[in-house]
Amino acid sequence: MSVALLFSPQGSQAVGMGRDLAEGVPAARAVFDTADAALDWSVSELAWSGPEERLNDTRYTQPALLTTSVAALAALRERVDPQPAFVAGHSVGEYAALVAAGVLALEDALRLVVRRGELMAAQPGDGGMVAVIGLDREAVQRAVEVAASPADLVVANDNAPGQVVLSGTREALGAVEAALHAAGARRLIPLKVSGAFHSPLMAEVRDQLAEAFAAVAWQDAAVPVVSNVTAEPEREAGRLRSLLAEQVRSPVEWVASVRRMRDEGVDTFVECGPGSALTGMVKRIVPEARTLNVADLASLEASVQALAAASVPS
């Protein structure tokens, strides 16, 4: 068995996330306590009790997701240490992956995602993102090339076969709709975001994040981190810092990341964090893979049992 740990993306959040893990596993509770002490508002209160509107505000979503994902990892490690071959996170989940790999202290990662959320929330309202369902990346790219300038519209997330997200100006997103439908797109789903994230329009945010990154300590990774930008395992602290700043203006290469881990022998993917968005994507990318998730006490117990069973020699 070869394991990769995955960390949940924005959109996975839900009121109540992480609560029963914190109530049932001391290590998970300690993560929430650390987050509450690090910030000037209570992450645990927001994650467990809402209100939902505030939890869905990216300025609060990102630190709450980071905390919940790291708490899920702590709960898993208290029961069983799967000794992962790789860690990876989708978009903001990459910050949790860096904590898991020992690159960033949780307190520093929290301050960085708070800054990331502030910068994202401050973006002008002329940018947006749309999920394209039913087309592969190449077909989406061809439609974009016909309808818009690459400076205005790009593939932002290559999530899974048949699930691609575009990011750009609202004018360009509107202009490409007809070409996408003509190519066979089943649905176009506008995302509830405040800007054109993971696109060249985020260049200024990248530069501001790079400044914030320089103020915290970075360590080489104890476990290879598969970068959203390169879809390659990375370990060197300076390289990881540079790629994480670049991530906000570059596509999330999730399909390539999962395939890279599969090609390196990973057969088991464990998502740490609320929901199961990433395990669903993995199943579409690598159907033969074993997928587990740790979102609450029930899924923790199921994952612990599955990992224990898989590690017993036959």
One-letter amino acid at 203 equals A
Measured CA distances, 184 to 136, 139, 148, 187, 283 (Å): 10, 9, 18, 9, 23
**Annotated catalytic residue: which of 12, 69, 91, 227?**
91
Cβ proximity of 280 and 99 under 8 Å: no
One-letter amino acid at 279 equals T
Residue 158, classed as helix, strand or coil, is strand
The strand ranges marked E within 211-252 are 225-226, 233-234
Decide if 198 is catalytic: yes
Give the DSSP H/E element, type plus range, for residue 153.
strand 153-160
Other beta carbons less than 10 A from residue 299's beta carbon: 17
Cβ proximity of 223 and 87 under 8 Å: yes
Residue 309, classed as helix, strand or coil, is helix
Spatial neighbors of 215 by CB under 8 A, at least 6 apart, are none
Cβ proximity of 255 and 284 under 8 Å: no
Cβ proximity of 194 and 129 under 8 Å: no
Decide if 91 is catalytic: yes
Residue 298, classed as helix, strand or coil, is helix
Tell me the CA end-to-end span of the chain in Å, nearest whole number: 12
**Annotated catalytic residue: which of 69, 198, 250, 303?**
198
Other beta carbons less than 10 A from residue 162's beta carbon: 15
The set of catalytic residues is 91, 198
